Each structure stands twice: as structure tokens, then as C-alpha cells.
Amino acid sequence: MFEARLVEGSLLKKVMESIKDLLNEASWDCSGNGMCLQAMDSSHVALVSLMLKSDGFENYRCDRSISLGINLASMSKILKCASNDDIITIRAEDDADAITFMFESPKQDRVSDYEMKLMNLDTEHLGIPDTEYACVIKMPSGEFSRICRDLSVLGDSVIICCTKDGVRFSAKGDLGNGNIKLAQSANVDKEEEAVVVDMREAVTLTFSLRYLNFFTKAAPLSSQVSLSMSEDVPLMVEYKINDKEGDSKGYVRYYLAPKIED
Amino acid sequence: TKVQKTLDTFFFFD
């Protein structure tokens, strides 16, 4: 039997919003550690790897590791039936062919439950090599969303150039070209407003803005985003999910293959 | 022109 009760139900709603436009279907791999999901988009250009840790749930029971094959569009529609302040409980029997979602209002005066058929998905698992990245940029997530949206008016690719002075985002197209330079923050009192560039060596890479704009759908999950880059390896965009005390409840990570000179 | 790579050349199925 798998049962997980999330008091902050809005977290699961936001997680669904962060993946539903990129992926059609995926398996939630549930184990004692938590709920994980890893899947590539249909073109194999981007990969999502997310985790909701078991200790982020009010209670969490997983008798046996199970893999729940889900049509994400359907799950997203059902989660839209939950209010932002609802408590969400997910339940599935071990040999289940269905998953149930229960939404409870804070005053427990309104309880709804929805059952959804599961899918048989072959759980192809990708090995993501641990990488020592040449550059890791930490910045406000809203700032990154703004940059990706603004530069999309110029072209379909962004060149990200990271040096010790800071990071520059550039785009060009028929309309013209544009550059956005972010300086390394000096002493910022509020950490989540800082731009921090941890650079081992300078890196310049080109990525599709279409995919980056899918990734920024995760911005409501975290006030900060980190971009990890090395020459000729996929970009890793990570939104950490922390609770109010700052303890990690999980993460949403996106990987994006670069565009290179043909 | 720049060509979009896929992840298949970077990540491998377990």
C-alpha cells in the first residue's frame, strides 16, 4: 500500500504545472525515500528529474517500492480540482491499476476524492552522470524567467556566457539582437535576491529558449534557480523545494542538451 | 547554424 499525505497541497499542484507542458506521461517511482519522477520529452532534448522527499509529507507509507504510470495531463486536470490550501493525500494499492487523490479543505468540511486509471509505462531509467560543473550560477528564479521571456522576442536560442565578472545572456534574430548582463551581486542582505557565479572556468553555450521557457514554469516552487554548465554537456536547471525552515523537501531538475555548430 | 543535440549522446539507459 502506498499512501502519502501532503499538508501543503499547493506544492503538488505547482510540481504538476512545472512538468505537464513538457511531458505527456511518466512514472512516479515511489520508495521509502520519497516520490521520484524522471522522464525525457518526446524529442529527447530535455529531461526532468524531480523528487519529493518522504519527510516532506505529513505522513508517508510505502510498504513496497512501486512505479505509478501516469498520464500527466490527466493528473494535472484532477489536481486543478484541488484548492491551493487543500491537504492532498495520494493512495495506491500495491497491485493497483488505479491511483486515488483525496483533497481535504483545512476545516475538513469539504473532502473530495478522485480515482484515475494508471498506465503501464516501461520505466526506462537514464543514468545521469555526476558532473563537476565549470560554472554554477545562482539567481532569483523570477529574474531567470524574465530573461528567457524577454530574449524569446528576439530569437529561438540564447547564448549564455559565464565569466568571472558575471553572466551574459544573448539572443539575435531578424528583429535584431539583445544582451542581458548580470553582475555578480556584491554583499546582498537577502540571499534569495543575489546573483552568485561560482566559476571554475569560463563557459559559453547555446540553448533553445523554447525549452528554457518550459523549465521556468517551476519558478513558483522556489525563489532561486541554479544553472549548472560545462562545455558540451547538458545544462542543468534546478529549483530546490525547501520548507519555511529552509530544509530540503525535494527538487525539480531539468537537463537540456546544447545547440552546437554543425 | 547551430544544431540541437539530443540527450541520447550524453545520458545512457541504465
**Interchain pair A125, B2: CB under 8 A:** no
The answer to whether the CB atoms of B13 and A124 lie below 8 A apart is: yes
**Out of B3, B10, B13, closest to residue A259 by CB:** B3
Which pLDDT tens digit goes with each residue over A79-130?
999 999 999 999 999 988 999 999 999 999 999 999 999 999 987 788 898 8
pLDDT at A188: 73
What does the pLDDT read at residue A255?
Answer: 98
Asked if the model's pLDDT at residue B14 lies above 80, the reply is no
Residue B13 has its nearest CB partner, among A126, A259, A262, at A126
Distance (Å, whole) CA A23 – CA A26: 7
Residue count (chain B) = 14
Among the partner-chain residues B3, B5, B11, the one whose CB lies closest to the CB of A126 is B11
Q: Which segments within A11-97 are labelled E, that is strand?
A: 25-31, 34-40, 46-53, 59-62, 66-71, 87-92
Kindly tell me if the per-residue pLDDT of B13 is higher than 80.
Answer: no
- What does pLDDT average to over chain A? 95
Cell of A107: 476545516
CB A160 within 8 A of CB A209: no
Q: What confidence score (pLDDT) does residue A261 get?
A: 86
Predicted local distance difference test score (pLDDT) of residue A207: 98
Helix locations, chain A, DSSP H: 9-19, 72-79, 141-151, 209-215
User: Do A180 and A169 form a contact (C-beta atoms < 8 A)?
Assistant: yes
**Which residues of chain A register pLDDT less than 50?**
none
Q: Which of A45, A128, A157 sits opposite B6 (nearest CB)?
A: A45
Structure confidence at residue A24 (pLDDT): 95
Could you identify the residue written with the cell 473530495? Answer: A112
ipTM of the complex model: 0.94
* pLDDT value of position A160: 98
In this structure, what are the phi and psi dihedrals at residue A55, rounded to the nearest 5 degrees? -75, 5
Cα separation of A123 and A39, whole Å?
A: 9
In the prediction, which pLDDT does A186 show?
A: 78
Rounded to 5 degrees, what are φ and ψ at A56? -90, -5
Amino acid making up residue A175 = L
Chain A interface test: which of B8, B9, B10, B13 (most A C-beta within 10 Å): B10
Compute the nearest-CA separation of A208 from chain B (Å).
8
Mark yes or no for CB contact B13/A206 under 8 Å. Answer: no
Pairwise CA distance, residues A120 & A136, whole Å: 38
A159 versus B14: which is more confidently predicted? Answer: A159
Name every residue in A having a CB less than 8 A away from some CB of B. Answer: 40, 43-47, 124-129, 157, 206, 208, 233-234, 255, 257-262
Cell of A221: 516552487
